[in-house]
A and B are shown apart, each in its own frame.
Chain A
Amino acid sequence: MTVIEASATPPRRLAWQLAEVREIAVETPRVKSLLLHVPAWQGHLPGQHVDIRLTAEDGYQAQHSYSIASPPEDELLALTVELVDDGEVSPYLIDNVRAGDQFELRGPIGGYFVWTIATEGPLCLIAGGSGIAPLAAMLRHRARRKDRTPALLVYSSRTLEDIIYREELETMAQRDSNLRLVNTLTRKQPEGWTGYRRRIDKAMLAEVAFPPEQDPKIFICGPTPLVEDASRFLVELGHPFPTIKTERFGPTGGLAS
């Protein structure tokens, strides 16, 4: 009998599976990361997302999408959740979930907003708030693989305390001269803050971003107005539209499902 091995994983339908919470990390006063064990996980690419489905005792279901924050190299799947006060899913994930709890998840989803070290060109990442999550997956993947593709993260937060993964990102940049970290604090800055103190604007991007001649691969993720502004500024600075990939969170934060 001849055994024919498939050269690539065949496409498969999206199926719900159970994820178990293994660890919970407090990132900021309003943001936590959930580290999940997903037994039948088939791997993902940095930038992809998953759907979460919660079912109440009376059968009512609420669904929401979250970007994967962990790189493919990690065993546990990390989701970084920001509390949305009138949300259906995030208050539960932030306030009620404990290690050992289970909920339904499906994914990975989306092959468009994706970067791996196999992609050429400098990497230009622009994030606002919890929009850092899928971009963190890209940076963590790059770091785990000791890849030295020139990379830049421009990250807009309200205050110093609101910077998600702050220590990890700083350590990553200290160890890697090809990674530049540019923080801007829009609402409150600590004493002696030397970084930017305003929303991301065209002058800032002209100063820090890779010029169009270097053909950077650009990923922007965050609240809709930030994504809208940043992508417009980059087009005005001469970056071709197809090199700019965006993921808008909408007005309330979090991906629509």
Chain B
Amino acid sequence: MTEISSELFLDGNAAASLLQEIFVPEITSAQILCDACGFAGSVGSLRVYAASMGAVLRCTRCDGVLMRAAHTPHGRWLEMTGARHLRF
């Protein structure tokens, strides 16, 4: 297995602006439940892989993808297939 360089990822806070453009309540302290492994934690504690147009937020326990957010010329996109729920 290749080890992912620790230089590559950031914390949930790094995606806060992008997500806060979509959500009304404060998003980084919301609790998110991983559908794959059942881990529950704050969105702010997730691992964020950020690119210029968006971010992928992964579970800190199993590395499953919980949120994908992107800001494109055609609108804002949010995919949450890997998350069972968000609790505010």
**Interface residues, chain A, with chain B CB atoms under 8 Å away:** 11, 13-14, 49, 51, 65, 106, 109-114, 224-225, 228, 241-242, 245-251, 255-257
Contacts and interface: CB of A to CB of B under 8 A. Distances in A.
A12 to B, nearest CB: 8
Interface residues of B, number: 25
Given A111-B26, A113-B44, A248 B20 contact: no
Interface of B: 6-7, 9-14, 16-17, 20-21, 24-26, 28-29, 41-45, 48, 50, 60
Contact of A65 (B17, B43, B60): B17
B68 to A, nearest CB: 16
A50 to B, nearest CB: 9
Contacts, number: 74
Contacts of A65: 14, 17
A65 B14 CA distance: 8
A222 B15 CA distance: 17
A14 B20 contact: yes
A110 B7 contact: no
B63 to A, nearest CB: 15
A248 B17 contact: no
A257 B26 contact: no
Contacts of A113: 11, 13, 28, 44
Nearest to B55: A256
A207 B53 CA distance: 43
A225 B14 contact: no
B7 A112 contact: no
A112 B6 contact: no
Given A49-B13, A112-B45, A225 B24 contact: no
Contact of B6 (A13, A114, A225, A242): A225
A110 B44 contact: yes
